[in-house]
Structure 1
Amino acid sequence: MNKVRLPSQDKDRKRPVTASSSPSRTAVITGGNNGLGLETARAIGRDPSWHLVLACRDPGRAAAAVADLKQSTGNPNIEARALDLLANASVRAFADGLRGAGLPPLRLLICNAGIQFVAQMRFNEAGVEGTFQTNHLGHYLLARLLLPDLAAPARILLVASGTHDPRQKTGLPEPRFTAVEYLANPPADPAFDRDDPGKAGRRAYSTSKLCNIMTAYELARRLDPAKVTVNAFDPGLMPGSGLARDYGFVMRLAWKFILPAARLFIRNVNTTQISGKALANLATAQRYAGVTGRYFEGEKDIPSSDLSYDREKSALLWAGSAALAGLDAA
């Protein structure tokens, strides 16, 4: 496969970092205005060598997050830029704007933003189902567009979920990986859960998280790990985060007030602060330099589902996603 050419390491990488130093590298975090993304940005932003770009859909929440992070980290080099992963045009505009902003070299891309539509499926203007578009396709397009701008050594992290693996028994329906046109338009699939819209929405979520992992593995195979590493990250169940916003009132109440206590009794239930620190470590710690094509539960390197390692299906997902995003599959 063709290797992506990247700029060589910039000369300021070894420059000592002080509180008054200008940032020497840029990190992009999608969905950095709340939950896991916000806490990851907080952990990374404490290092003034980073210029943080929060890629967010809601400008009001993004502005509030930037003010919060600047105050809590003491790092003035934090900004928000508009990104709506539901729209490929917005993804392209974000990439173009970032490229022309004159920022320090891009060293880190964290594909964190996620959604789960369960009340009813939603589709974007191109007719692509919203969970698949937001969680997978928008991030696939963003990563592909930013690859030429990454300066070695760089890292890409895709936030996945244990829901992709039937062995973990998370309570969500197991993924259904079919033709990419069915992933983009689940009702066209003859096996679609027609009688249970909530189940269909939850299955779309677990399937999108499988797609995140397969994309991470496929991208890792295509890149030189000495220049760019790509890994998938499972933050665990994070009660209180915004993921349950499309659920009914009772479930939202339990998610916010009751389930947080579950981390005392159930495996891999975390606060956003705990998972944010783990993700920040994977993104920046020297011990993960050169580590690529792996799946982490927190900072523990574990196997993902059997299906996630299927190279033939990963290649089909890559090619189908490229077609939907208007890119070549090379």
Structure 2
Amino acid sequence: MAFALRLLYSQFIVKVPPPTTSFESKTIIITGGNTGLGFEAAKYYLKLKASRVILACRSLEKADKAKLELEQTFAISGDIVETWQFYEKARTLPRLDAVLLNAGIMTKEYRVAEDNESTITVNVISTFLIAFLLISKLKETAKIFGTTPHTTIVSSDLHFLSDFSEWKSDDIFAPLNDKKPARMNDRYNVSKLMEILVVRHFASLYGPNYPVVFNTVHPGWCQSNLSNEIATNFLKKLENFMRRKTEEGARSLVLATTFGR
């Protein structure tokens, strides 16, 4: 009941204002930026004068299609919008001001991706691998330009519903990777809780004076393709009634990359 009331309040009472902070001269990396919330966030960064917006996607074909649409929408060309598949290129950037880790999946099927269950691979392992690989460039930017760069991870209030009994194991990933007892209806929720726990642990290790803001953001229940695989007819009808517009959800993502400590 408490979660339901929180959800109703969040969806119908809370209004997120459009971001207004300038991103002039700044460089942004967005994972999962070719569609949904990530794509709408990219639009906001361009509206707010970002000098460089990098769409980091698993599929360069999809990323290039999104890049073309952004360039046509904002009548821009050249190197303002780029598409990347390999994060090693980030080391060559003159600066990096915000990393928006938006890529994620929600699935009801047990699948293996790079030796782990796919939800954990994409939502947790890959997300934090990218985050920690890019921290040195963010710290360098903070030192050179006197700014406060951000690493923002898109999480979800669904973490409140997770059971996460796997935490009792000495090796958390072992039960999560065991197909037989896998509870895939809870897996997305678990992945979002793991994200929040890792960020909290990171914050406790390095304290409030760390040069990079490391945070999570919950955009609310938004229009996207995320739940297509698990959606029942009832859920689709409920989503149509309750979901925020994708653009409204993207506001939260962009705002989270502007907040101070």
TM-score range, shorter chain: 0.7 to 0.9
Residue in 1 aligned with 2:126? 138
- SS of aligned partner of 1:242: coil
- SS of aligned partner of 2:33: coil
Q: CA deviation at 1:184?
A: 5.5
Aligned-residue identity in percent: 27
Q: Distance in 1 between matches of 2:174 and 2:42?
A: 30
Match of 2:151 among 145, 153, 156: 156
Q: CA deviation at 1:81?
A: 0.8
Instruction: Letter of the 1:95 partner, please give it.
Output: Y
Residue in 2 aligned with 1:202? 185
Residue in 2 aligned with 1:68? 69
Residue in 2 aligned with 1:122? 111
Are residue 214 (structure 1) and residue 197 (structure 2) matched?
Answer: yes
Which segment is superposed worse, 275-284 or 204-213? 275-284
Residue in 1 aligned with 2:220? 236
Q: Distance in 1 between matches of 2:97 and 2:127?
A: 16
- Match runs of 1:100-119 below 5 Å: 100=92, 103-118=93-108
Tell me the C-alpha RMSD between the 2 structures.
2.5
Q: Distance in 2 between matches of 1:130 and 1:33?
A: 20
Give the conservation status (yes or no) of the 8 Å contact 1:45–1:75.
no
Which segment is superposed worse, 153-162 or 64-73? 64-73
Are residue 183 (structure 1) and residue 173 (structure 2) matched?
Answer: yes
Match of 1:270 among 244, 249, 254: 244
Instruction: Letter of the 2:99 partner, please give it.
Output: L
Give the conservation status (yes or no) of the 8 Å contact 1:27–1:109.
yes
- SS of aligned partner of 2:229: coil
Q: Distance in 2 between matches of 1:154 and 1:81?
A: 20
Instruction: Letter of the 1:80 partner, please give it.
Output: T
Q: Distance in 1 between matches of 2:50 and 2:257?
A: 14
- SS of aligned partner of 1:231: strand
Q: Distance in 2 between matches of 1:278 and 1:180?
A: 36
> Which sections of structure 1, spanning at least 5 residues, go unmatched?
1-16, 83-93, 167-172, 194-199, 264-268, 292-330
Residue in 1 aligned with 2:90? 98
Q: Map Cα deviations across residues 186-240 of structure 1 (whole Å, 9 max, x no partner).
A: 25399x35xxxxxx2221111110011112212223445462111111111124x
Q: Map Cα deviations across residues 148-178 of structure 1 (whole Å, 9 max, x no partner).
A: 1111121111111111013xxxxxx533342
The number of residues matched between the two structures is 229
Q: Distance in 2 between matches of 1:187 and 1:156?
A: 27
Q: Distance in 2 between matches of 1:246 and 1:261?
A: 16
Q: Map Cα deviations across residues 259-294 of structure 1 (whole Å, 9 max, x no partner).
A: 34322xxxxx4221101012112213xxx22x2xxx
Are residue 80 (structure 1) and residue 86 (structure 2) matched?
Answer: no
Instruction: Letter of the 2:165 partner, please give it.
Output: R
Q: 1:46 to 1:204 in 2, by over 3 A?
A: same
Q: CA deviation at 1:181?
A: 3.5
- SS of aligned partner of 2:244: coil
Q: Distance in 2 between matches of 1:123 and 1:73?
A: 39
- Normalised by the length of structure 1, the TM-score is 0.63
Q: CA deviation at 1:116?
A: 1.5
Q: Map Cα deviations across residues 8-44 of structure 1 (whole Å, 9 max, x no partner).
A: xxxxxxxxx99xxxx6321111100001111111111
Instruction: Letter of the 2:222 partner, please give it.
Output: M
Residue in 2 aligned with 1:174? 163
Q: Distance in 2 between matches of 1:180 and 1:114?
A: 26
Higher relative contact order (CA 8 A, sep 6+): 2
Q: Distance in 2 between matches of 1:183 and 1:202?
A: 17
Give the conservation status (yes or no) of the 8 Å contact 1:109–1:157.
yes
Residue in 2 aligned with 1:165? 160
Q: 1:238 to 1:96 in 2, by over 3 A?
A: same
- Normalised by the length of structure 2, the TM-score is 0.78
> Which sections of structure 2, spanning at least 5 residues, go unmatched?
1-21, 143-147
Q: CA deviation at 1:145?
A: 0.9
Residue in 1 aligned with 2:7? none
Give the conservation status (yes or no) of the 8 Å contact 2:218–2:252.
no
